[in-house]
Amino acid sequence: MKKVLHPSQSRGAANHGWLKSFHSFSFANYYNPQKMHFGVLRVLNDDEVAPSMGFGTHPHDNMEIISIPLSGELKHKDSMGNEAIIKTGEIQVMSAGTGIQHSEFNASSSEPVKFLQIWLFPNKKNVTPRYDQIQLPDLGKHNELHQVLSPIEEDAGVWIHQNAWFHMGTFDAGTAQSYTLKDARNGLYLFMIEGSIEIEGETLGVRDAIGLSDLNEVSFNSVVENTRVLLMEVPMHLS
């Protein structure tokens, strides 16, 4: 098994006043040749946007883009005609494919919105752009991992053009949990949203992360109440 630790304080940081952002991988003005990506996981940004502020219309292509609100509401508009409010407890995905333009703004005039934005390299280029957004009601159930993304359209969660699976869960203190990879060629990147866990001889806290590869299964134990984790199983080699 191979292991790489990404403590929260090792992330790139940017404060633009209206936007506070932490970058797990090289992004914008943050460049770290040792943290370019984890397999096909290219971007993991931990963003906080001030009330009524946001990202103006900008383009993307050939990238799978996933947004997960952690608190507040995110307003989305794109060149495909989609307009939506993405709320906490939901997940949004865009397959940028041949090209798309979109904007993202805080839907509230009084409260900040906090969300994770994640980019994965796709396994198919120049696909027709698409958008999807779903609610994740099962996330309220503690002590189990809930699938929120997969490569299979009919499966639980949203789907993307990549052999990847995402799971999320909230755990009580002292809970043991294991995860078996869907594809033994993949790796696993675990990001701590809240709380603390013990995993592979390491103790992770809020916003810490660990990347694991060359393994079939992993186990962890939650240390405190309301520990929230995001597991991202991704291919380790670009298609």
Is the pLDDT at 10 greater than 80? The verdict is yes
- Give the domain ranges of the chain: 12-136, 138-235
Beta bridge partner(s), residue 54: 105
How do residues 20-79 score in pLDDT, each as one tens digit?
Answer: 999 999 999 999 999 999 999 999 999 999 999 999 999 999 999 999 999 999 999 999
pLDDT category at 235 given cuts 50, 70, 90 is very high
Q: Provide mean pLDDT across the span 155-163.
A: 96
* pTM score above 0.85: yes
What confidence tier does 238 reach under pLDDT thresholds 50, 70, 90? Answer: confident
The domain covering 12-136 belongs, at the CATH homologous superfamily level, to Jelly Rolls (2.60.120.10)
Q: Is 138-235 a CATH 2.60.120.10 domain?
A: yes
Q: What is the three-class DSSP state of 9?
A: helix
Q: What tokens were used for 237?
A: 């080699």
Fold matches, 12-136 and 138-235: yes
Kindly state the average pLDDT of the residues 94-104. 96
pLDDT tens per residue across span 104-140: 999 999 999 999 999 999 999 999 999 999 999 888 8
Pick the closest to residue 169 from 229, 234, 92 (CA basis).
229
Which residues lie below 8 Å from residue 34, measured CB to CB, with a gap of 6+? Answer: none
Residue 102 has a pLDDT of 93
